[in-house]
Amino acid sequence: MTLKLSNAQIAWRAAQDIQDGAYVNLGIGFPEMVAQYQPPGRQAIFHTENGILNFGEAPADGSEDWDLINAGKKAVTLNPGAAFFHHADSFAMVRGGHLDVAILGAYQVAENGDLANWSTGPKGVPAVGGAMDLVHGAKRVAVITDHVTKDGKPKLVTRCTLPLTGVGCVTRIYTSLAVIDIEDGQFVLREKLPALSFEALQAQTGAELFTKGPVTDLNVPEL
C-alpha cells in the first residue's frame, strides 16, 4: 500500500497537466524533476531565468558544457531552435505574461492562494529571487510539495506564517497525498491516494478541504 508519493511520483503527476508546446518555468531543485516525465507525444518549451529558452535533458556525466546551465547551476543541453538572451530579457518574458506555467516548491500554501517558498531562517535562502516575478507573471502557477513538513506540520494552511513569495497566485497543488485546486479562497480536493480516507487527509491539512464533484483516485506509476 502506498503511504505517500515519492518526489519523482509527484513530479510525474504534475507533468501530466503540461500541454504540448507550453512555455514552462520550473523552480530550482525539486520542481526541475518535472521535465523528466513529459507524456509521450508532448514537448514543453522550458525557460530558465538566466537566459535560455528550449533547453533539453541533462547531459551525460563527463560531457557537461558548464557554459550551458540553468538557474539552479545544473548543466543542460539544447533542443533545436533553442535561444539565448540577456537576463533582463528573460525577466521581460516572465513579467510580460509569456509563460504558460510556472511550477515551484513551497514551504507553505494558504487557502487563498498565497505562497511562501523562501525563508530567512537558519537554513533559509538569502532572498526570494525570481520566484516573486514568476508567480505573478506566469499564466498558471502550480506547486509541488510534500503534504507536510519533516516534523509532520501541515504545509497547506489557512494563512502563511513565513515571508510571502506571492499573493493569491497558486491555482493547483500536487502533494505526496493529493491534488488540490484553489478556488474562491478554498482548498478543493480533486484527487487523493486510494488508500487514504478524506478524514485522514483532512487531519494532515491545516485548513478545511472542500469537494466539488467527484474526487478521483491519485494513481501514479512506480518510479
Amino acid occupying residue 64: E
> Bridge-partner residues for 138, per DSSP?
none
DSSP 30-92: GGGGGGGGPPTT---EEEETTTEEEE-SPPPTT---TTSB-TTS-B--EEEEEEE--HHHHHH
Query: Are 103 and 23 contacting, i.e. CB atoms less than 8 angstroms apart?
Result: no
- 111 catalytic, yes or no? no
Q: Is 80 exposed, middle or buried (0-12, 13-18, 19+ CB in 10 A)?
A: exposed
Active-site residue, from 49, 57, 111, 222: 49
**What positions carry a catalytic annotation?**
49
